[in-house]
Structure 1
Amino acid sequence: MTQHLDQTSAAVPLRWVGPIRITGNIVNDEVNVPLATFESPLWPSAQRGARTSTMTDDGIVATLIDERMTRSILLEADDAPTAHRAAQHLAASLDQLRKVVAGSSRFARLLCLHHQIAGNLLFLRFEFATGDAAGHNMTTLAGDHLMRHILTTVPGLRYGSISGNYCTDKKASAVNGILGRGKNVIAEIRLPGDVVEKKLHTTAAAIAGLNVHKNLIGTLLAGGIRSANAHYANLLLAFYLATGQDAANIVEGSQGITHADDRDGDLYFSCTIPNIIVGTTGSAKDHGFIAENLTRLGCREDREPGANARRLAVLAAATVLCGELSLLAAQTNPGELMRAHLTYERRPRDRESRTS
């Protein structure tokens, strides 16, 4: 029986916030960014963070540290010695593996190979450059080519799965933070003490103290995995939906670390986000508002392969910092967070009933 999928569109409210002043090794610009969300307080909160970025000469300094996309495959061997010999052979055959990957795509390049062995199971984690694509399909296709090559050239191995969960895709794990998956971006800002007091209504010492108590110790007690932040997922989801990304990648994307220091009354504040998975070409990127938003962000320019995606990742990281800074500032003041939600989330008639 033929099944027909319902293709009705689901509209999510979208607003632009900014400008955000960004400097660094990828972007030197003032940019407005789109956020699609039903959590309406997110817009004014990110806007407050964006406003502070324009009050320093450097704004948010965003540094792209690394970029790679991963796919792991699973192979079965007769026993552990066979799996070990195969892993050693493949590690010594990277040049040949790179040729196999080059035959699968114009843009995919094999960067590195890692492995794990559990009993007779061999897990191979391939790391690729994927140009301006996020790389989900590109790395899977490369994985297919690599799988066929390995099974026909390395004795003692059998097919296990095209995905061995050692990638790790859309699951909380340690491996992505350690080895990398997506774009690794660090966003930093240094705010004078008077800006912190006047615009964020708090102090550098209060934010730095809360970051230790809440983001570090609180997350440790909760058993967080390579994660110490207040709400990276909120900003990433809104940014991903507005720019046509695979929203499920906020799982690994939200595993990042917020760091704050009181520097003689000034505030040093940073967000380290090692797994930003974004692309400016591929699925859905040429349709409707997605293409318009990417164009407005300056991420559809005629640049070398990968440059547009790097710009988009840096914009995502700067957006995360804006929201993270604003939320932590709010949480240093009793009642401020709830007042904001009551103000921005209640319907107009609800607000009228409370004031009548």
Structure 2
Amino acid sequence: MEAPRLYSTKRVQSLKPTKKIPLEEDPTKASDALPLPLHLTNAVFFTLFFSVVYFLLSRWREKIRTSTPLHVVTFSEIIAILAFFTSFIYLLGFFGLDFVQSLVFRPSPDVWIAEDEEEENEVLLAKEDARKVPCGQALDCLLPPLPPAAPIVTAQKVFDEKPVTVLTEEDEEIIKSVVAGTTPSYSLESKLGDCKRAAAIRREALQRLTGKSLSGLPLDGFDYESILGQCCEMPVGYVQIPVGIAGPLLVNGREYSVPMATTEGCLVASTNRGCKAIHLSGGATSVLLKDGMTRAPCVRFGTAKRAADLKLYLEDPDNFETLSVVFNRSSRFGRLQGIKCAIAGKNLYIRFTCSTGDAMGMNMVSKGVQNVLDFLQTDFPDMDVIGISGNYCSDKKPAAVNWIEGRGKSVVCEVIIKGDVVRKVLKTSVESLVELNMLKNLTGSAMAGALGGFNAHASNIVAAIYIATGQDPAQNVESSHCITMMEAVNEGKDLHISVTMPSIEVGTVGGGTQLASQSACLNLLGVKGASKETPGANARMLATIVAGAVLAGELSLMSAIAAGQLVKSHMKYNRSSKDVSKGSS
């Protein structure tokens, strides 16, 4: 661990000058030796460089067309090559060396601090030389000692918070430049090369700009390098969300301890009770119906007929093999499964569906779609691509196309709960649950005009698992599409309950799944990373676990409502008289 940087507390008389202070600076510059002014010289070499590059590319293109060997060069080409290297060396020497050295040989902050101290010492020594009284006649030949430099402490604001200590003067200067707007906040990581330090400086600058405290938002204890360029920009800390465990959840003969990140009291406890009821009844069965991520670009033509021509071409089975080859070049896991088109006037929406292995797959399918669009431009040059996503996918929005066609993983999960378990564990009856489900989840949702919301609280469980395992929380919108069905079986003694979820969008690689906490939760479920045996097996297993947890949550909440326990349990577990904000640091 790097030792904290401290300020020097030595007296000035112990400091020795390391540089000579010139009385007059030589005004002569190196650029004065050039035959032309510097800006004209730069313009000449810029023009020469790009001119010869264009000339050489044109010549080589012509040789390729005429099948002339590239190594056969004319006199004009030799002159152009020499001019290219000459201009390149000049431009590199003028512009490139300082830039490269600034990246490769970037001095550490300690070196910058030492240089600042050297400059201060030189100024003090210059003042010493400028004394009118000779040193021998002075009462004290020593300069007055500098007071010990204390760490800079930010001033207390209108809020009550712990003072934030900035360890170096350099940090203080950077904070001031961020506040002043001279240093962009987003560039701190690239300029400093230290993500944790950049977050601390950005955080302090934000507090000074807003006058609001961030004392309850943790900064330490997080790996900011792991999110750079992939998970979050301009971080100032991280939010703590407790993770509870529901289970064991018995699905397809295997037990899972389900991690749930939530701040809603009763949610984990209720899901855990549902898991207990499922386990006592022999476990649930989960079946994967479909696995395919979608992306639907929008393209436009001059006429509706041309849009229809492309629709017929894309949906023709004879063309599917050709389109698959083009699409599949984007990834070794992405494989085109189908294409579905919809026309609105002269606009065509093309919904591509493909497998994506263990990744959630949005980027993967987007790259494949781009390949196909580029390929189609040859036969349909009048096609105008409006956008790579035309909302016919449909991502992060409630949509009937996902409810009907599915997106991601389509899963159905079922279990038969024994009558004794319904009475003893769930504290209700089979008849009450069946009636409540019909009037609430089915009729009530229909009265509300629900789209995929024929359930009690599927999104509660989906969101909690998504946050814990590093999924995209915004995709909870379509991933929570669920219809819960209940029916009395075995002469009315037992309860058959099922959840059908057509668009669970999950992955076990990429995005937030690689962060330490989320990776640990995936490891707990046994689905961390990519499956080595069967590509996509871990993501599919995660989808079945999500469906099983939703089944447990639906069973428990519906039982609580049927038994009249909902308000009582929430008042007991979801209310707190303790002010936890006082315990924040």
- Look up the equivalent residue of 2:554 and give its one-letter code: E
SS in 2 for 1:163: coil
1:118 to partner: Cα distance? 0.4
Residue in 2 that maps onto 1:262:
488
SS in 2 for 1:128: strand
Tell me the distance in 2 between the aligned counterparts of 1:152 and 1:231.
49
SS in 1 for 2:263: coil
1:62 to 270, 277, 286: 286
- Look up the equivalent residue of 2:304 and give its one-letter code: A
Higher relative contact order structure (alpha carbons within 8 Å, sequence separation ≥ 6) = 1
- Look up the equivalent residue of 2:254 and give its one-letter code: D
Question: Does 2:261 align with 1:36?
Answer: yes
Contact in 2 for aligned 1:241/1:247 (Cα 8 Å): yes
Give the TM-score normalised by the residue count of structure 2.
0.58
- Look up the equivalent residue of 2:406 and give its one-letter code: G
Question: Does 2:246 align with 1:17?
Answer: yes
Q: Please, what is the CA RMSD of the aligned residues?
A: 1.4
Residue in 2 that maps onto 1:337:
566
Residue in 2 that maps onto 1:239:
465
Question: Does 2:445 align with 1:222?
Answer: no
Tell me the distance in 2 between the aligned counterparts of 1:345 and 1:197.
25
Contact in 2 for aligned 1:205/1:265 (Cα 8 Å): no
Cα distance, 1:40–1:173 mapped onto 2, change above 3 Å: same
Tell me the distance in 2 between the aligned counterparts of 1:121 and 1:302.
42
Residue in 2 that maps onto 1:285:
513
Tell me the distance in 2 between the aligned counterparts of 1:185 and 1:80.
37
1:340 to partner: Cα distance? 1.1
1:16 to partner: Cα distance? 1.1
1:7 to partner: Cα distance? 4.3
- Look up the equivalent residue of 1:66 and give its one-letter code: K
Q: How does 1:1-356 map to 2 (within 5 A)?
A: 2-4=184-186, 5-23=234-252, 28-57=253-282, 59-92=283-316, 93-263=319-489, 264-300=492-528, 301-334=531-564, 336-347=565-576, 349=578
- Look up the equivalent residue of 2:558 and give its one-letter code: L
Contact in 2 for aligned 1:20/1:31 (Cα 8 Å): yes
1:289 to partner: Cα distance? 1.1
**1:72-119 superposed Cα distances (whole Å, 9 cap, x missing partner):** 000001111110011111223211111112111111010000000001
Tell me the distance in 2 between the aligned counterparts of 1:73 and 1:153.
18
- Look up the equivalent residue of 2:264 and give its one-letter code: E
Residue in 2 that maps onto 1:354:
none
State the number of aligned residues: 344
Tell me the distance in 1 between the aligned counterparts of 2:286 and 2:353.
23
**1:13-34 superposed Cα distances (whole Å, 9 cap, x missing partner):** 11111001111xxxx3011110
Contact in 2 for aligned 1:14/1:35 (Cα 8 Å): yes
**1:173-218 superposed Cα distances (whole Å, 9 cap, x missing partner):** 1111221101111111101111100000101111110000001111
Greater Rg by CA:
2
Contact in 1 for aligned 2:470/2:515 (Cα 8 Å): no
1:348 to partner: Cα distance? 5.1
SS in 1 for 2:501: strand
SS in 1 for 2:507: coil
Tell me the distance in 1 between the aligned counterparts of 2:296 and 2:420.
49
1:303 to partner: Cα distance? 2.6
For structure 1, which segment, 293-302 or 42-51, has the greater mean C-alpha deviation from structure 2 after superposition?
293-302
1:136 to partner: Cα distance? 1.3
SS in 2 for 1:284: helix
Contact in 2 for aligned 1:203/1:265 (Cα 8 Å): no
**1:124-154 superposed Cα distances (whole Å, 9 cap, x missing partner):** 0000100000111111122222221222332
For structure 1, which segment, 237-246 or 148-157, has the greater mean C-alpha deviation from structure 2 after superposition?
148-157
SS in 2 for 1:54: helix
Q: Percent identity?
A: 38
Contact in 1 for aligned 2:284/2:415 (Cα 8 Å): yes
1:285 to partner: Cα distance? 1.7
Higher strand share: 1
SS in 1 for 2:464: helix
Tell me the distance in 1 between the aligned counterparts of 2:516 and 2:468.
11
For structure 1, which segment, 2-11 or 169-178, has the greater mean C-alpha deviation from structure 2 after superposition?
2-11
- Look up the equivalent residue of 2:275 and give its one-letter code: A
1:313 to partner: Cα distance? 0.5
Contact in 1 for aligned 2:467/2:473 (Cα 8 Å): yes
Residue in 2 that maps onto 1:353:
none
Tell me the distance in 2 between the aligned counterparts of 1:20 and 1:105.
35
Gaps of 5+ in 2: 1-182, 187-233, 580-585
**1:18-58 superposed Cα distances (whole Å, 9 cap, x missing partner):** 001111xxxx301111000011210100000000111123x
1:10 to partner: Cα distance? 1.4
- Look up the equivalent residue of 1:311 and give its one-letter code: M
Contact in 1 for aligned 2:281/2:421 (Cα 8 Å): no
- Look up the equivalent residue of 2:289 and give its one-letter code: I
1:349 to partner: Cα distance? 4.3
SS in 1 for 2:552: helix
Tell me the distance in 2 between the aligned counterparts of 1:132 and 1:14.
24
Higher helix share: 2
1:302 to partner: Cα distance? 2.8
Tell me the distance in 2 between the aligned counterparts of 1:275 and 1:91.
23
Residue in 1 that maps onto 2:72:
none
1:6 to partner: Cα distance? 2.4
Cα distance, 1:184–1:124 mapped onto 2, change above 3 Å: same
- Look up the equivalent residue of 1:84 and give its one-letter code: A
- Look up the equivalent residue of 1:48 and give its one-letter code: R
- Look up the equivalent residue of 1:20 and give its one-letter code: L
Gaps of 5+ in 1: 351-356
SS in 2 for 1:346: coil
